[in-house]
Amino acid sequence: DQQVKQNSPSLSVQEGRISILNCDYTNSMFDYFLWYKKYPAEGPTFLISISSIKDKNEDGRFTVFLNKSAKHLSLHIVPSQPGDSAVYFCHCISSGSARQLTFGSGTQLTVLP
């Protein structure tokens, strides 16, 4: 049972345009959400996060949106750059006593010059 789904395995975007990566979850106990970026032959690195008390968090070109009622979060990158080409994972965490940490399966973003 996949509690966290990234339904798009891949996404191609033209340089300068907006990239939108999506993540859906089923566990209503998740209360903290993160996005990681992964380049080939490297480990994932933290990109941006949001807690369940917010619906938006922005850091430069990166913005994460959270829709709790829809159990959906998205990562917007604008403007997209070729260096953003990587695999993006969403990570959902429940911080209660029964702590759960679940990654999505990842989305390969390719930004075309």
Partner 1 sequence: DAGVIQSPRHEVTEMGQEVTLRCKPISGHDYLFWYRQTMMRGLELLIYFNNNVPIDDSGMPEDRFSAKMPNASFSTLKIQPSEPRDSAVYFCASSEQGPGGDIQYFGAGTRLSVL
Query: Which stretch in 20-28, 61-69, 76-84, 87-95 sits in contact with partner 1 by CB under 8 A?
Result: 87-95
Indicate which single residue of 86, 93, 109, 111 sits in contact with partner 1 (rule: CB under 8 A).
93
Q: Is 53 in the site for partner 1 (CB under 8 A)?
A: no
Q: Is 99 in the site for partner 1 (CB under 8 A)?
A: yes
97: Cβ–Cβ under 8 A, 6 or more apart, which residues?
none
Q: CB nearer to partner 1: give 93 or 111.
A: 93
Q: Is 88 in the site for partner 1 (CB under 8 A)?
A: no
C-alpha distances (whole Å) from 12 to each of 7, 61, 97, 107, 112 are 14, 17, 40, 10, 7
**Can you tell me the distance from the alpha carbon of 113 to that of 94, in angstroms, rounded to the nearest whole number?**
39
Q: Is 45 in the site for partner 1 (CB under 8 A)?
A: yes
Strands 10-14 and 86-94: unpaired
**Can you tell me the distance from the alpha carbon of 10 to that of 14, in angstroms, rounded to the nearest whole number?**
14
List residues near partner 1 by CB under 8 A: 6, 32, 34, 36, 41-46, 49, 89, 91, 93, 95, 99, 101-106
